[in-house]
Amino acid sequence: MVNTMKRSSVDREKLSPMMKDYMILKDNYEDCIVFYRLGDFYEMFFEDAITASRELELTLTGKSAGLEEKVPMCGIPHHAYSNYIDSLIEKGYKVAIAEQLEDPKTAKGIVKRDVIQVVTRGTRLDNNLDSKNNNYIANIYDFGYCKGISYTDVSTGEFYIELLEQDNDQIIREIMKRGFRELIVNDAIDRELINTLRVTYGILISITKDLYEEDDYKYIYENIEDIRLITTIKHLLSYIIDAKKGDLHHLKECEIIKRNSTLIFDNNTKRNLELVETIRTRDRQYSLLWLLDKNKTAMGSRYLKNQIENPLTNKKELERRYDFIEKISTEFIIRDDLRLALDEVYDLERLAGRISYGNLNARDMLQLKRSLNALPKINNLLKQLNYDKEIDILEEVASLLEKTINEDPPLSLKEGSIIKDGYNSELDELRSISSGSKDFILNIEKVEKERTGIKTLKVGFNKIFGYYIEISKGQKHLVKDEYGYERRQTLANCERYITKELKEKENIILGAEEKIINLEYKLFMDIREIVKRYISKIQEISKIISEVDMLQSFSIVSDENKFVRPKLTKDKDLELVECRHPVVEKVMKDKYVSNDIIMNKDTNILLITGPNMAGKSTYMRQCAITVIMAQIGCFVPCKSAKMPIFDKIFTRIGASDDLVSGESTFMIEMKEANYAISEATENSLILFDELGRGTATYDGMSLAQAILEYIHDNIKAKTMFSTHYHELTSLEKDLKNLKNVHVSAQEEAGNLTFLHKVKSGAVDKSYGINVASLAKLPKELIKRSEEILNIYENKSIKKEVFTQTSLFEDTIEEVIEIEQENEIESKVKDINPLEMTPIEALSFLYELKKEIDKK
């Protein structure tokens, strides 16, 4: 039977001293699974043990703790803890690691233990972190009338803050877009919001009101004036500092997010355009990020992702990037050299984090050294490319590491072999003592063999007895007292002895080795302290490397895929000639049909018609993707491109990721439409794919038309609107800034071929039945639908009621009759005879009669 003894049910007085200590420690970490270090193991007790054994598939056992019954327990070997922690935090748990703070050999009473860090999804600093993605932890501080959101990546030190309005939808949009997986909130926050984030979106949430009030990390918010921003930062800082406990001075000064300096779009747009992952498989492969990522460093890849999620609006900065790409694209040799040099650069940003926090080893130091060694060459190449920034190559750090760190150090810092010879004279001396004595011992075997004449005599070493002389059983009678051999151990086939001299040398060796290990550790820590002073410089280097890497990647991708430099215009001309969807093109190779997207300053709306599957949504997507590529400073998939700088993009394409929220598709569609029309400006781009199709035909069509009119008259944003309501194409007559285009298809003998070519004007036919037949619906059903279509077209009347009537029961004529009867009935229902004058009543009756006669 499983032991389910609860921690709260235990009489603490009866517990063993160690378990009492555990209970006190655990009281402070109720919401964590506590890994309690005991010798070579981390052990978990009570509920923690039950949870961990279930989640990690460990055996649940019991530990005697002074009670009659054993307490539930499970354990893991200390050296394997990181994979176990990974798996727990991925499942949404927090883990508190409690270490022994004293050496058990020298401690009096029970060994002192305390939590040295809490590991959560958002505060990881280990080597298992995904190098191509940032790992953010965020907080929301609710002030009642607005909310502060700040977030940081503890592994790289980036720190950002912004203020948002009270609107929950906006908060959710922001959180989803930035991909936060752990959130800290204060207790003023709306419970419903927390619930949605937790349950619907699976975000790990902790509630705390604590604010950081010390001075150590004041620099993070020192230059910020708004007290709301400062409070929000302090709230997040308090949580992180409490969790990590170590030195976090690599955290950078907090940057205020300026909304108008980036191109804004929400998570739906990010998803629908498949910017960083595909919709179906959520894989990076076949996303825009995948296409553009030819970075050599992890920093470059992360920066690219960050830029795709936050494109720029600053023309000068964009032109600067284009200039560099243009230059580097003509200098193949320099570009190749640069790529080779970048290959030598490790993840400096995360190394800086580890240097500061202290969890780096000698191999990390070597990575730092190799990275620094690559910098002079990179600098030189950048100069040749007229790049406008120079890297500080930190010569002094590079030469320090060159002098000190061994080329092949072990992972652990407690095994020695970290520091090179010649750096520290004390270390050199200890090493020569140790190795001199080792030579001496090796020599003893020869000397003793000669002295005693015992041929099988050997010198050996084991951990328990140290150095010994071993003599086989057959020859042990040859050992004489005068040799001074002391017997230590008798084995089946030999005897082991020690001598005074042997023990003396052994003491020297072991003493020296211990001293070496301690000294090397101390020297390493000293070096780390020196390097630590350069953290902000290392972060600056990282920033430049990230940018340069991303730009060389753009240059490679642009060459490979024939992208061109866009021309950014001040007026509102959008002219994308022979534009392609870069990812679809890449996957399809040569078959992709390019299309122009032209919206000059007098055209704001393109109304796109064409059969299903013709390529309407791809056409719209490629426009948005081209805009995003241009606004991250990349060349674009066109033959030539002219465009204004956009401030926001809104899309309503394909399925929404809000399906989880339990609202109907149509409701979500309308909410998204509302979000777009309330936030869009004349500098925005709106893509609406068959808006209104989620409701009955007339409803949908009327809404679509009203939305088009509204955008046309009030917003004036560049808008692409695809529809299969042909009736809408007549709007071109009334709305002067709206233009019809259609994606063409060819019909021959009932067979439909998609040409994917966009032409001006409206399409004449919807081809829905052809597409249905391509989808292999039963032949008789297709035939029947053609018959019905004929009737519709002949009557040239399309009533919504048809779509709701079973196609195989009523005849069309009957249905029309019922519909007309209903119309008259509803007119009568709408009037109140008591409020009508006799004349009005008479004229109403006359109207009705006329209508009935007409039929």
Binding site for ligand ADP (CB under 6 A): 584, 591-593, 595, 610, 612-618, 756
Q: Which of these, 23, 44, 32, 46, lies nearest to 206 by C-alpha position?
A: 32
Residue that the structure tokens 């020695």 belong to: 416
Phi/psi class of residue 611: alpha, beta or left (left: φ > 0; alpha: ψ in -120 to 50)?
Answer: beta
Shortest Å, Cβ 134 to ligand ADP: 31
Pick between residue 268 and residue 539 the one whose CB is nearest to ligand ADP.
268
Pick between residue 321 and residue 581 the one whose CB is nearest to ligand ADP.
581
Shortest Å, Cβ 731 to ligand ADP: 20
Q: Please state the separation of Cα 293 from the chain's center in Å.
A: 15
Q: In what order do the strands lie in the sheet with 61-63?
A: 61-63, 71-77, 41-45, 33-38, 95-100, 113-119
Residue burial 269-303, b: 16+ Cβ < 10 Å; e: rest:
bbbbbbbbbeeeeeebebbbbbbbbbbbbbbbbbb
List, as own/partner pairs, every contact residues 453-461 make where C-beta atoms lie below 8 angstroms and the sequence separation is at least 24, other chains included.
Answer: 453/478, 454/478, 454/479, 459/502, 460/496
Q: Decide: 280 and 271 in contact? Cβ < 8 Å.
A: no
Shortest Å, Cβ 611 to ligand ADP: 7
Residue burial 28-38, b: 16+ Cβ < 10 Å; e: rest:
ebeebbbbbbb
Pick between residue 513 and residue 578 the one whose CB is nearest to ligand ADP.
578
Q: Report residue 684: phi and psi, to 5°.
A: -100, 165
Pick between residue 191 and residue 591 the one whose CB is nearest to ligand ADP.
591
Pick between residue 124 and residue 616 the one whose CB is nearest to ligand ADP.
616
Pick between residue 424 and residue 617 the one whose CB is nearest to ligand ADP.
617
Classify strands 147-152 and 486-490 as parallel, antiparallel or unpaired: unpaired
DSSP 388: S
Pick between residue 29 and residue 290 the one whose CB is nearest to ligand ADP.
290
Pick between residue 590 and residue 780 the one whose CB is nearest to ligand ADP.
590
Q: In what order do the strands lie in the sheet with 718-722?
A: 649-652, 685-689, 718-722, 605-609, 738-748, 751-760
Shortest Å, Cβ 382 to ligand ADP: 39
Shortest Å, Cβ 707 to ligand ADP: 19
One DSSP character per residue, 695-708 reads: S-HHHHHHHHHHHH
Pick between residue 552 and residue 656 the one whose CB is nearest to ligand ADP.
656
As beta bridge partners, residue 746 has: 753
Shortest Å, Cβ 583 to ligand ADP: 11
Distances (CA, A) of 11 to 21, 34, 61, 68, 73: 14, 20, 20, 11, 17
Shortest Å, Cβ 644 to ligand ADP: 24
Shortest Å, Cβ 755 to ligand ADP: 9
Shortest Å, Cβ 771 to ligand ADP: 9
Pick between residue 596 and residue 663 the one whose CB is nearest to ligand ADP.
596
**CA atoms of 628 and 263, how far apart (whole Å):** 8
As beta bridge partners, residue 748 has: 751
Residue that the structure tokens 């709260």 belong to: 8
Q: Nearest residue by C-beta to ligand ADP?
A: 615
DSSP 592: P
Distances (CA, A) of 178 to 67, 135, 175, 631: 50, 10, 5, 18
Shortest Å, Cβ 590 to ligand ADP: 10
Pick between residue 272 and residue 617 the one whose CB is nearest to ligand ADP.
617
Pick between residue 525 and residue 588 the one whose CB is nearest to ligand ADP.
588
Shortest Å, Cβ 697 to ligand ADP: 18
* Cα torsion 262, 267, 272, 274: sign: positive
One DSSP character per residue, 484-505 reads: T-EEEEE-SSEEEEE-HHHHHH
Distances (CA, A) of 502 to 435, 491, 506: 14, 20, 6
- Assign 244 to helix, strand or coil: helix
Shortest Å, Cβ 592 to ligand ADP: 4
- Assign 158 to helix, strand or coil: coil
Shortest Å, Cβ 614 to ligand ADP: 4
Pick between residue 19 and residue 574 the one whose CB is nearest to ligand ADP.
574
Shortest Å, Cβ 269 to ligand ADP: 16
Pick between residue 32 and residue 608 the one whose CB is nearest to ligand ADP.
608
| CA neighbours closer than 13 Å in the CB half-sphere of residue 160 | 16
Residue that the structure tokens 């040749």 belong to: 384
Shortest Å, Cβ 618 to ligand ADP: 3
Classify strands 494-498 and 466-472 as parallel, antiparallel or unpaired: antiparallel
Pick between residue 146 and residue 587 the one whose CB is nearest to ligand ADP.
587
